[in-house]
Amino acid sequence: MGLLLALITGILYSAAFYMMLRRSLVKLIIGLVLVGHASNMAIFTMGRLSKGNPPFIAEGAEVVTEPYADPVPQALILTAIVIGFGIQAFAIVLIKRVYQETRSDDLDKLQTTDDGLVRIVKAKRKKS
């Protein structure tokens, strides 16, 4: 089981990075979603998997007896899912706005943030 989950985590990570490296904005978002899931799966897999051992304290005992399923990684994942969901929702709205502004889905076309040099050359030419 652990091996299978580890493989799935690896596949998720590689799929995520592949998608993020594409030029399309929509694929970038898919990549972001996948990388979030991959991290969650990584935490889940590393949290010492245990089957059919709920973390209940047996009657008369003071602490839970080994082996038991550790609930903490799942609590972590739950928090991470909620936060990731919020960010993904924001990112989707953001790409919609970007698309409305630029009419383009191509990341390579988004270059207004570093156009300084081109304009400077023009300004210089004008000056001389």
Partner 1 sequence: MSLLLPLFIPFVAAVLCLAWWKDRRVQGWLSVVGLAAMFASALKLLFTVRAEGIQVVNAGGWDAPFGIVLAADLLSAIMLCVTALIGFTVTLYSIPAVDVKRESYGYYPLLNMLIFGVSGAFLAGDIFNLYVWFEIMLMSSFVLLALGGEKRQLEGAIMYVTINFLSSAIFLAGVGILYSLTGTLNFADLALRLGSVPETGLVTLVSMFFLVSFGIKAAIFPLFFWLPASYHTPPIAVSAIFSGLLTKVGVYALLRVFTLLFVQDIPYTSTVLMILAAITMIVGVLGAAAQWDFRRILSFSIVSQIGYMVVGIALFTPLAIAGTIFFLIHNMVVKTSLFLISGLVHHVKGSYKLRYIGGVYRDHFWLSLLFLVAALSLAGLPPFSGFWAKFILVKAGIEAGQFWLVLVVIASSLMTLYYLTKIWNEVFWTNEPEELDDPEPHTPGPGPLWLMVLPVGILVGITLAIGLNAEPIFDLAKETAEQLLGREEYINKVLGR
Give min distance, CB of 51 to partner 1, in A: 17
Tell me the Cα Rg of the chain: 23
DSSP assignment of 32-45, as one string? HHHHHHHHHHHHHH
- Residues 20/35, Cβ–Cβ less than 8 Å: yes
The one-letter code for the residue type at 109 is: K
Residues of this chain, 41-70, that bind partner 1 according to CB under 8 A = 42-43, 46-48, 70
Does position 35 bind partner 1 by CB under 8 A? yes
Q: Which residues, 6+ apart, have CB-to-CB distance to 27 below 8 Å?
A: 19, 20
CA angle, corner 107, sides to 9 and 99, nearest 5? Answer: 105
Count of residues that bind partner 1 according to CB under 8 A: 46
Does position 72 bind partner 1 by CB under 8 A? yes
Does position 95 bind partner 1 by CB under 8 A? yes
Residues in contact with partner 1 by the rule CB under 8 A: 20, 25, 28, 32, 35-36, 38-40, 42-43, 46-48, 70, 72-73, 76, 79-80, 83-84, 86-87, 90-91, 94-95, 97-98, 101-102, 107, 110-114, 116-117, 119-120, 123-124, 126-127
